Amino acid sequence: MRRKRSLHGRSPVQADKTPPLPVSRMSSRSKQSALLFLNRELTWLSFNERVLHEASSPRNPLLERLKFLAIASSNLDGFFMKRIGGLKQQAGAGVSELSVDGRTPHQQIAECHQRIADFESRRLQVWEELRTDLAAHEVRIVDYAALNSRIKNRLRSYFRQAIYPLMTPQSIDPAHPFPFISHMSLNLLVSLRYPGEPETWLARVRIPVSAEISRFIRIGTSYDVVTIENLVCNNLDQLFPGMTVVHCCLFRVIRNANSVRDEEEADDLVAMIETGLQERRFAPIVRLELAHGMPSQLKGRLAAELEIDDDRDIVETTAILGMSDLMELARLELPGSHFPPLHPHDHYRLQSSRSIFHIIREAGAILLHHPFESFASSVERFLHEAATDPKVRAIKMTLYRTTRDSSVISALLEAARNGKQVAVVVELKARFDEAENIRLAETMNDAGIHVSYGVVGLKTYCKAILVVRQDFDGITRYSHIGTGNYHALKARYYCDLGLLTSDGDIGQDLTELFNFLTTGMNPRRTFRTLLLAPRHLKKALLEKIAREVEQHTANGGGGHLQFKMNALEDPDIVSALYAASQAGVNIELIIRDSCRLRPGLAGQSETVRIISVVGRFVEHSRIYYFHNGGKEEYYIGSADAMKRNLETRVELLCPVAAPDAVRDVRTLLDSYLADRYSVWEMQSDGSYLRPQSHQGEESPPLDVQQVLYNLLVQKYRKKQSARKKQAASHDGAGKRHPA
Which H or E run contains 70? helix 62-79
Q: Please tell me the distance from the alpha carbon of residue 340 to that of residue 523, in angstroms, as a whole number.
A: 53
Q: Are residues 114 and 190 in the same domain?
A: no
Closest CA to 579 of 624, 547, 534, 626: 547
CA distance 703 to 696: 17
Boundary residue ending a domain (134, 165, 191): 134
Q: Whole domain around residue 599: which residue ranges?
A: 534-715
β-strand 688-691 against 679-682: which pairing, if any? Answer: antiparallel
pLDDT at res. 274:
53
Determine the pLDDT at residue 139: 93
Q: What is the pLDDT of residues 455-464, one digit of tens each?
A: 888 889 999 9
Task: Please tell me whether residues 213 and 313 are part of one structural domain.
Answer: yes
pLDDT score at 698: 56
125 lies in the same domain as 185:
no
User: Which residues partner with 252 through β-bridges?
Assistant: 289
Within a domain: residue 427? Answer: yes
What CA–CA distances, in Å, run from 387 to 73, 80, 158, 359, 648?
41, 42, 47, 17, 33
State the pLDDT confidence band at 222, using cuts at 50, 70 and 90: confident
Q: Are residues 270 and 373 in the same domain?
A: no
Residues 387 and 311 in one domain: no
pTM for this prediction? 0.90
CATH code (residue 575): 3.30.870.10
Higher pLDDT pick, 227 / 284: 227
pLDDT tens-digit map of 27-78: 455 566 678 999 999 999 999 999 999 999 999 999 999 999 999 999 999 9
In a domain, 5, yes or no: no
Residue 725 is assigned to a structural domain of this protein: no
Amino acid (one-letter) located at 325: D
| pLDDT per position as a tens digit, 293-329 | 999 999 998 998 898 877 889 999 999 999 999 999 9
- Domain assignment present for residue 328? The answer is no
For residues 516 and 579, membership in a common domain is answered with no
Is the domain of 488 the same as that of 589? no
Residues 447 and 586 in one domain: no
Residue 125 located in a structural domain? yes
307 and 436 in a single domain? The answer is no
Confidence label for 521 from pLDDT (cuts 50, 70 and 90)? confident
Range in 415-424, 439-448, 492-501 with the lowest mean pLDDT? 439-448
In a domain, 17, yes or no: no
- Kindly state whether residues 380 and 429 are assigned to the same domain: yes
Report how far residue 484's alpha carbon sits from residue 490's, in angstroms, rounded to the nearest whole number: 9
For the chain, the domain total comes to: 4
Q: What is the CATH number of the domain that holds 187?
A: 3.30.1840.10
Query: Do 487 and 545 have their domain in common?
Result: no
Domain end (from 302, 319, 336): 319
Among 93, 111, 134, residue at a domain's last position: 134
Residue-wise pLDDT for 119-139, tens only, equals 999 999 999 999 999 999 999
Q: Is the pLDDT of residue 382 over 90?
A: yes
Number of Cβ within a 10 Å radius of residue 717: 11
Same domain, 264 and 369: no
Cα 687–690–691 angle (5° rounding)? 135
CATH number (domain holding residue 86): 1.20.58.310
pLDDT at 738: 39
Q: Is residue 222 a part of any domain in this protein?
A: yes
Q: Does residue 100 fall inside a structural domain?
A: yes
- In 3-state terms, what secondary structure has residue 129? helix
